[in-house]
Each structure stands twice: as structure tokens, then as C-alpha cells.
Structure 1
Amino acid sequence: MADPRQMKLGLSLRYLGYHMAAWRHPDVPADGAIHFDYFLKSARKAEAARFDMVFFADGIGVRADDKPEGSLCRDMKNAELEPLTLLAALGACTSHVGLVATASTTYNEPFHIARKFASIDHISGGRAGWNVVTSWSEQEAWNFNRDAHLGYEERYERALEFVEVVTKLWDSWEPDAFIRDKASGVFYDPAKLHVPHHVGKHFKVRGPLNSARTPQGRPVIVQAGASEQGREIAARYADVIYSAPHALDAAKAFYADLKARAVRHGRRPEDLLILPGITTYVGHTREEAAEKLAFLQRLIHPLTGLATLYNHMGDLRDHDLDGPVPPPVNPSMRSMAADLYKVAQTENLTIRQLYERAAAGNGGRILVGTPNEIADDMERWMDEGAADGFNLCPATVPPGVDDFIELVLPELRRRGRFRQAYEGRTLRENLGLLPLDPS
């Protein structure tokens, strides 16, 4: 019998955890998100546990209004460290775990992104990854000389060209271009320099990048959009997909679609790894796990709950909290809104129940149970063609991280589903991705 397929695992370290009331938990430092040591401890735990990567989602603004009134001052999503600065610092303090962060294609320029992530890849010895997003909120637009966000189609059109330019810049130099021959006085071989000279609809970038080719060839590209345009960017360029389906059938359909698209773009299915997000509440018994969730649910203020749904479902203040969930109206995050509404319809949830569901995992899928039950679910998604691994979005940091490492990982290892040791030194190696062709 063939060995079971091993899963890849990322650890998402946004804010203080993925439960909206995480900051109120007695074992969570309420000011942790602005302290380097807070993230360093978690990154080192992830490395000791042999996670593939730590993942920092990001927004370039406080992406919330005071809707309903009085909710914003109760939100922990308002002060955090800038993630690329954080990655560089973590790269100097860790040795194996991958380092991935979000950077927007709407409010950056390709040269900035190419250079910064190339530098992080060099600093970390080949462990950098860029999570490609287009940004989505008006609040971010207001920080960049705009009164309104770019239109949906324009954002994704720009993003596709943006990634194309970044990859061209990363390919400016062949691996052995810099010969640095003191005797001859030749610093680099001009035949191994490739100036992009990119001219497109959104960007005109000559290049080359003032960075040597990185230890990975290029930093790993991660993509988190589930829209049609996002899937096309992923199929062409991404190495890892961070997805957020709630149901197994939807996850299988997404998985099959992305793998098929990759093949149409001349890639192998295994060149694209799909890691759905999960938030776990685990205990030695199911009752213990359920109480961990219930404890946090009791910390949700109703205004925080309604604010959690606002960007996905619209303003629900005029609806009965214990009544049915209405269809979303002009959501800013379309795919997530559709997923939430489908869950509400399928399970006949009230507005209150939906915001509790959304608050429990920041809108993502939650698993509540014993180590065996959590591992069973993860195995099923792997074996039925819905995932190549998972991005753990802990409810609280550090308690949720510790629970997963201490309770779930030993069970996954007992089943032969997760590594005992890292396979290589770079993120690309540990993910099992083929080396890049320098040509």
C-alpha cells in the first residue's frame, strides 16, 4: 500500500487570532500585534513544529467604518506591524519556516514588490513568499490619494499585469550572472542579464531589478482570490492558493478547477498547491473543544458581531437578529459573501448565528472536536481531492496555536500525514515544488 499523501501546513498570524473577540481572551496579550516578540515566538513555534510557512495577511488601512455606530472602537483590527518589515526581521531569527506576506497590486508598483521580496528571500536564505491581492476597501483607497477604490475589473486586470512584471524583474539575472572576478575586473557577465523592457496597459518598466537572482529563483507566489479573475492569475503564476470554502463539495470543485486551469497554462497539477483555511477548536474531549469556542462566543459584543458581517452582507441593523439572513447587497468581498449566504441558507441560520459563525473564524471554516476528529476531517479533504494541505487560522494566539501543535500534530504524524523534519532549506523545497528553470 502506498504511503499516505502528506499535507502542507501554513500558520496564519493575523492580529491576535481569527476569532473576533480573541483580544478579550485572558491568555492573549491585547497589545501583542504591535510587538515583534509576540510574532517571533509564534514563528519559532511554527518552525519547531515543522510548519511549511507562517502567513501574514494584511490591509493597508483600518478597513472598517463605525457601522453599526459604536462597533469600531471595539475592533482589534486597527494597529499592527507592517508585514514586510516583520518578515525581514523574522528571516534573521529563524532558519527553516517559510515567510509569506500580503502586498497589494493596487497600491504598490511592481518594482517595489519585486525588490522587497527579493531582499527578504536573500535575507532568509530562500524562504520568502508574496501573497498577491488587489485590495478591496474604500478605506485603503483614501490612504492613497483616491476618493474611491478602483473598479473590480480594472483591479484584476492591473493585478495580472503586475504579477507578470514582477516575475520578469525577478528573472533579470541568471543564477551565475555575478562572477565578481577581481583579477579581470568583471563584476557580472553581461550575457546573463535580461532587461525586461515591459510595456503594457498599466505599467511601463524597463528594469533590470537591482538584486541578484534569489536563492529560490523567485520567491513563492501565493494567491487568495476565488473570483474568475483571481483564478486565472493563480493558474498562470501562483505556487500556493489560500482558499476559503466552507463545504467539501465546493472545495473539490474549486480544487479541480484550479488544477485544470494550471494544466491549460502548460503547468502540472502538482505545481499549484491548494491550502484551504481552517480555524480549529480542539480539546481532549468534544465537550472541552466546544467549551473553548463557547467561551469566546460569550465575549462577542453584538455590535462587533454585526460589524463582522457588514462588508459581506451589508447593513443588517434593521433586521431581526434572530430572523433569517437576507441576500447580500453590493458586497465588497463577493466570493466570501456568496459563501456565507450559502451557509446561512443551507443550515437555516439566523443573523445572530451567522455572525457568531463568522466571528468564530473571521468568516472562514471552523472545526470543533478532538484531535482524532480534526485529523479525520483534514484527511478526508486531502483524500477526496479538496486540498493539498491547510492554512491554520488559529482562533487565538498563542492558545489556539499551542492546542493545534500539542494535540493535532501528533495525531497527524501518527497517521503519516505530516513531516517529522524539513526536507530542505528553502520554502520551495519544503513545499515539494520543482526548482525553477533559470532560462
Structure 2
Amino acid sequence: MSEHSPLDLAAGDPYGPHNLPYGVFTPTGDDRPRVGVRYGDHVLDAGAAAAALGSPHADLLRQPVLNPLMAAGRPAWQAVRAGIREWLTDPGHRAAVEPLLHPLDGVTLHLPFEVADYVDFYASEHHATNVGRIFRPDGEPLTPNWKHLPIGYHGRAGTVVVSGTPVVRPNGQRKAPADPAPSFGPSLRLDIEAEVGFVVGAPSVLGEQVPLSAFRDHVFGLCLLNDWSARDIQAWEYVPLGPFLGKSFATSVSAWITPLDALEQAWTAPPARDRALLPYLDDAEAVPAGLDLHMSVAINGHTVSNPPFSGMYWTAAQQLAHMTVNGASLRTGDLFASGTVSGPEPEQRGCLLELTWSGRDPLELPDGKRTFLEDGDEVTLTAWAPGPDGSRVALGEVTGRIAPAVTG
């Protein structure tokens, strides 16, 4: 046993045996992606460990992406997770496991799963109300359907990128209300959206809906997500069909997928609903499906917001039920996002559109004022959830730096 073994974590490490998020990595000097599990500030080569210890799930873990494991279903997820926890905590496995732990700063992290479809929702009442007040100051902030169904739209799966990938400022058509005609060029109102993404593992059958009660049978885990938004492009294009080019240029996700089973202490009741829900969305008698996640948004290392996920009006289980109620099938690797997470207080707003009230109230940062993002700005999302015995479960961070638009 080495004097300072990576298996010996400090008390309260948020990436301890109670967490064990999955990712995909390549070590220095090796270009073969493989499944990894984060443990403290190291990454366990899960496939190599499974092979060394004779796990019946070795084939699922000796893959370049998480999709085969995700497709195996919840009994396999639970068995694999229990096995990994045992490998990392049982002193009898130290000799086999310790050489398979790679320092986090010596590996390259990759997009951990192949994205099948991508859906983005609009589940925060505080966010939706603020946006409604900004764009419809003389009308009702919420649309008539908002409290009857989780509003969402289909995004572009091919532009989901892993944390750390540069985000190139998009070009597109822009037209301010006073402009006589649209112009073309780089977005001038580039924004963030602090969100949580849910990753589907087990698929469903075309024509059959997924009920609220089946949420944990289909969803493998979750991750932090930044759905970058070009507000000026979006404002000109979205009537009448909704978001398109203003959203589809990049969506950043964490390199780590936190299993739902790591969040047993984080489940909580969602806010009280003040509208009767149709039966397929009615969760009054269901197991609580809200999540107590504490999020933070930083620009260039300076915290600008702390959105609370526990206040989200619509839960991920309701979003999944609504997404499939028409018979649409789930595929392994489907990703659906919560929508911008915002709380009731100004310092809890999850996007610059809200934080600056559409540019009216600039943020004061150590390196200058911001209304929207400038080239070179780096945005980082972090979060934690309550774990067992007062511990914390850290969610993998999402970082992206704005690169200048490509001009030709």
C-alpha cells in the first residue's frame, strides 16, 4: 500500500463512495477511450477493474461510451454500482484497484455518451415569469398552457459538447425592434442557461407512454448542462415556431453523469401546484421527484448566481411522462434538460437575460461590466446535493469559454 493512496479520501470528499459518477476518459499516452468512475481527484478505469476482479459486467464497462451500460437497465446499473463501491472500499481489493486509478489532471475527458435526441424544457416558474415580464410587460407573464403541461422543444443532438469545449460565437440574422430590416453577423446578446440534464438509459416502445412511476427505470443519471443562447438571433427567428439557430449552435454538458442512486438524500417534494393536473402528470400521490440541488454560476471565476433546483415547478419525471404521452419512444442516450433554473431572488437567476434584465442592469464583475457574454469569457456551472450523514454529492462542473465568431 502506498503512503498516500488515492483510495484514502479525506473525510467528506464530495466524490467519495457515496457518489461515483461515470465518465469516459483517455489516460496520457493512450488514445483508447474507456469508461471511468471518479473517486476523489482520480479516475478509476472501470473496465480494467471489472476484468481484474472477475465482474460479470466487464463487457459493459470495457466500452468507449456509456451507452451499453445505460441500455442494460436499472438492475444492471445497481449491480455495477455496488460492485464498484466494493472495489474501491474493500481493503482486500487494494492491490488490484490502486494501479487502475489515474490522476484527474493526467487524463482527457470526453463526451460520456452518444446523444440520441435532445429536448429542452422550460420548467422554472421564476424563470418563465421573469422572461414573460421582460418580453410582455403589459400582459400576463405566463402563457395559458404553462401550468398545465411542461413546455419544451426539440434541440440538436449533434451540437451537445463536453465541458471544456470552446463555444464559438454564432452568426445569424438579427433585428432589433427599431431596425427597418434584419442584418447578419455575430450574436451581440450571447447568453447562458444554467440547467440540469437527464440522460435516458433504458429505451421504451414506440406507441407506449412512460408513466411517472417508471422514471427511475428509464433515467440512468443526470448532469449539469449549459444551453448557450443567442438572444438576438432567437428573438428574430422564434415566432411562430420557437427556438432554432439561436439555441442549436452548442449545448455543454458535464463530463460526469451522476447516477440517480447517488441522490437518495436529495429527493424532495416540488412546489405546491395551484392548477389541477391531468392524470398522467398528477404526482400528488407519487414518490417525491423534485431534487434539492444547489447550483452556482461563475463568469471568469466570479460567482454571479446561485440558482436552487428544488424550486422547479415541473419535475423530470413529469417531463419524461409528457415527452412520451403521445407515444414517442425513448432511445438510449436521449438527453432532456430542465430549462433555465432560477429562484425567486435576483441573485438566484440562471441566465444573463434575467440577471441584467435584458441588458438594462449590467453586472459588475472584477474585470468590467457585463450585459451579455464577451469573447474570452469563461462560464462555469457547479452544483452539489445533500448526501448521506451530512455529506455532499458533487455534480461534475460544466465550463465553456467563448471563442470569436467565424467570419468569411
**TM over 0.5, shorter chain:** no
What is the TM-score when the length of structure 1 is the normalising length? 0.23
More strand by share: 2
Q: Larger helix proportion, structure 1 or 2?
A: 1
**Taking structure 2 as the reference length, what is the TM-score of the superposition?**
0.24
